[in-house]
Amino acid sequence: MRLGATLDRFIHLNRQTPALLWSFAYFFLLLTAYYLLRPVRDAMGASSNVLDVFPAPLVAWFAVRGIALGEYTLQALFTGTFVIMLVLQPFYGALVANFPRKTFLPLIYGLFIACMLGFYWAFDRQMPGRGAVFFIWVAVFNLFAVSVFWSFMADIFTDAQARQVYGYIAAGGTLGGFLGPVLAQGLVKSVGVAPLLLVSAGLLGLCVLCLTSLSKWASSHTEKGIKDTDIIGGSMWAGLQLVWRTPMLRALAGLMVFGVGVGTLLYNEQAAIARAFFSSDEARTQFFSRIDLWINALTLTIQLLLTRALLGRYGVAPLLLIPAFAILIGFAALTASPLPLLVAAVQIATRAGEFSLSKPARETLYTRVDRESRYKGKAVIDTAVYRGADLVFAWVHKGLAAFGSSTVFAAGFVVAALMTLNAWRVIQTVKRMRNQ
């Protein structure tokens, strides 16, 4: 009965705002494509064979200097990811500044498709050192592709509309996140790892069809009056400046830093467990796929039953604070009893809370800022700030891990407390914006 009522509300909203169905399909395809790749990426990051991850000359260069690169796999990968994110920022800023969205959005996804085809070739031939490049590329793909999706949504929907439809749109992504691991588990057994990249590339091609159709519709129907031929303009470096001087963007950047810190500490512990218990890429891929399935099942349930109701009635406050307090409780439990099963349970709760509550709440806030902040400032937060925090906490974890899991999780509790304080800061900033 409740599911039927949810479907009826979706149909009713889509009659009022036909962009909802296109957006739902777009995010579904995008997240399916990503979650096909994520288990492969995680398997590379947790690989016990350093030559699968890094090129042999790089491994030898570090070995000559007394450094076993395999002992710093995740730290090295996160460092490389952060550097690439910084390098790409001005190029992305230049695209957004000089081309309309009908040009730069398909171009970004077209480049990702071309890269997937190249990685298929590398995996099909078992090219040594492919793991590091692929791990970094998937991180770039995830953050940029999803970031521009939500920037596009904020271009189309007003704040009032976003509160009504973002929960459903996020549910489309969750369904994709559910289907991706299912496809990954099934295909990896029958055809191996490399063909997953071709399937993902095909799904991303369908995303381009969705965004093109959606952009044309939105140009003539959106209440904001934004056309897909409008050029944002401004500087290629404007994103960094906007985050620095805009109170809302600064608050969101702070929340991102500590939210990423919580996730990184958990992720690294999970990777250590996978490395200890699973010896092959296929086994690790299946392990990570199962965790993703649980996360997406819980996320979808919350999105369909709670997200829209809470966001529409109470605004962003409960959606930011409920996950924060859940994470605090989870890390407190892990500090007292760092059992592997509990680590997995807290990981599921943390990511499900992020995807079903925190992220839809944060994304609605971008409907209230100008387009330059929406695309450039948001991109800086979602990519450079995200990966910068990822890098810092990856190295923090490396230092804390020497003292045992309880120490790691005790530090995580402190980070979770800071995340909660920053969630409160965002809420207060929203209130001040309304009063101005």
Domain count, the chain: 1
CATH number at residue 374: 1.20.1250.20
| Residue 216, domain extent | 2-435
User: Is 316 within 8 Å of 365 (Cβ atoms)?
Assistant: yes
How many helices and strands (H and E) does the chain possess?
20, 0
* HSE value, Cβ hemisphere, 13 Å, CA-based, for 284: 25
The larger pLDDT score, comparing residue 411 to residue 295, is at: 411
Percent of the chain with pLDDT over 70: 84
What does the chain come to in residues?
Answer: 436
User: Is 415 within 8 Å of 258 (Cβ atoms)?
Assistant: yes
User: Is 168 within 8 Å of 6 (Cβ atoms)?
Assistant: no
Specify the range with the lowest mean pLDDT, choosing from 164-168, 171-175, 238-242: 238-242
pLDDT digits over 102-143, tens only? 788 888 889 999 988 988 888 777 776 677 888 888 888 888
Supply the pLDDT for residue 234: 62
Confidence band, pLDDT 50/70/90 cuts, at residue 290: confident
Give me the torsion for CA of 53, 59, 63, 65, rounded to 10°: -120
Angle subtended at Cα 161 by Cα 239 and Cα 430, rounded to the nearest 5 degrees: 50
SS (H, E, C) 203-257: HHHHHHHHHHHHHHHHHHHCCCCCCCCCCCCCCCCHHHHHHHHCHHHHHHHHHHH
From the number of C-beta atoms within 10 Å of its C-beta (0-12, 13-18, 19+), residue 270 rates as buried
